[in-house]
Amino acid sequence: MNSQTLQPFGIKSQPVNFRALPPLSLYIHIPWCVRKCPYCDFNSHEAPGTIPDREYVEALLRDLDSALPLIWGRKVYSIFIGGGTPSLLSGEALSYLLAQVRMRLPLAHEAEITLEANPGTVEADKFAAFSDAGVNRLSLGIQSFNDVHLQALGRIHSSGEAKRAIDVAQAYFDNINLDLMYALPGQSLEEAMLDVQTAQSFAPQHLSCYHLTLEPNTLFAHHPPQLPDDDASSEMQAGIETLMAANGYEHYETSAFSQPGKHARHNLNYWQFGDYLGIGAGAHSKLSFHDKVIRQARHKQPKAYIDGVAQGRQMQSEQVLDKDDLAFEFMMNALRLNGGFEEALFQERTSLPLLLIRHELELAEQKGLLVREAGRIAPTELGRRFLNDLLQVFIAAEN
């Protein structure tokens, strides 16, 4: 997703000219959670008791209705319902939401529909209803199977609840992702590996392993815990990659591993610089037209968003990307893929010639961070280890 600050309406843009528009996905944001985790920098807000799910769903649908002219006639290939904790929605509310989305948008055959869920008992009881509503991929925020580490992360579930939630989920879904984190406060290499081994014992189709980072404006940033040093965390990362490969998982993106054929299609669309419409509090969109690419951001606070939708003013900001933005943002996303990308994809998704970044490509090659061969551009092992350094090369293309 975009890491740049959105600019006000009307920013000057240089023209582009697309021959064909990229694939389109839909992102739906549910902003509430039971408790804000100290490491979380996502747009999430502690729920005041029960959430106003019916009112919020109606706001989502009005938001979607207002956006339809921007995507009219385009097929949607994936839907991702993220948060927050989307599993706080009732099964009835989610069923109504997805039914109404289908009435408004042409979904591709067998479109991937993902819902994020937390492994508390209440959410697990809803899994049957979520499956009946049309969700065909579940992403469970496990983070760790160690109760001490779960407590340090501020999670509200236990290791036992996480394992039971996976068991219940597997009764209703045949495509499951488990989120894990490593380099946790006080975590040893053995504990990090045990978390991954435990996750693999359930044979999930997809596993995401994120290095814990101290993000700005989080409780951990203001009160930093003692984390493993760089050498220890690198050893954890290497051990995780080796273990995943030994068990037949493909390491296809910086933090993502999957069984063959089970890549996260929605996330792949982000990384390949596809289009996405985001609805909901704080949701972002990236939409292409024949002559421009725009980014949008909705109001973050749930009440401001709901009130804004009612008044036709749900948009907090909008930006038309210029050619330098397009070049950098493409590379920022595509170089997360370990296999890189076909050279032709750069022009297809940005409408710009690859020659525009020739100097930066050559510099990255000279540094040993990137390789170009057989019409494909990919990060080297060194480039994957030092992805920020690789991307820094392309920041020069913006300036």
Mark whether 215 and 335 lie in a shared domain: no
Mean pLDDT of 244-257: 97
Residue 291 forms part of a structural domain: no
Q: How confident is the model at residue 48 (pLDDT cuts 50, 70, 90)?
A: confident
CATH number at residue 220: 3.20.20.70
Please write the tens of the pLDDT for every residue from 195-244. 999 999 999 999 999 999 999 989 998 999 999 999 999 999 999 999 99
Mark whether 239 and 383 lie in a shared domain: no
Phi, psi of 210 (to 5 degrees): -105, 135
Residue 8 forms part of a structural domain: no
Give every strand in the sheet of 376-379, ordered side by side.
Answer: 341-342, 376-379, 370-373
Domain with 165, as residue range(s), is 24-269
Q: Which residues pair with 83 in a beta bridge?
A: 30
Q: Are 240 and 209 in contact (CB under 8 A)?
A: yes
Residue 151 forms part of a structural domain: yes
Sort strands 376-379 and 370-373 into parallel, antiparallel or unpaired: antiparallel
Cβ count within 10 A of residue 170: 15
End position of a domain, from candidates 223, 246, 269: 269
State the DSSP H helix or E strand holding residue 190, giving kind and residue range, or none if neither: helix 189-200
CA distance 115 to 137: 7
Residue 298 forms part of a structural domain: no
Rounded to 10 degrees, what is the CA torsion of 26, 267, 175, 54?
-30
Closest CA to 340 of 273, 248, 397, 285: 273
Residue 290 forms part of a structural domain: no
Residue 161 forms part of a structural domain: yes
Mark whether 95 and 165 lie in a shared domain: yes
Q: How confident is the model at residue 124 (pLDDT cuts 50, 70, 90)?
A: confident
End position of a domain, from candidates 236, 269, 302: 269
Domain count, the chain: 2
Residue 220 forms part of a structural domain: yes
DSSP 8-class letter at 337: B
CA distance 16 to 290: 7
Burial of 318 (0-12, 13-18, 19+ CB in 10 A): middle
Q: Are 280 and 51 in contact (CB under 8 A)?
A: no
Sort strands 376-379 and 341-342 into parallel, antiparallel or unpaired: antiparallel
Q: Which residues pair with 297 in a beta bridge?
A: 284, 317
The answer for residues whose C-beta is within 8 angstroms of residue 229's C-beta and 6 or more apart is none
Mark whether 229 and 333 lie in a shared domain: no
Mean pLDDT of 103-110: 96
Please write the tens of the pLDDT for every residue from 268-327. 999 999 999 999 999 999 999 999 999 999 999 999 999 999 999 999 999 999 888 999
Residue 354 forms part of a structural domain: yes
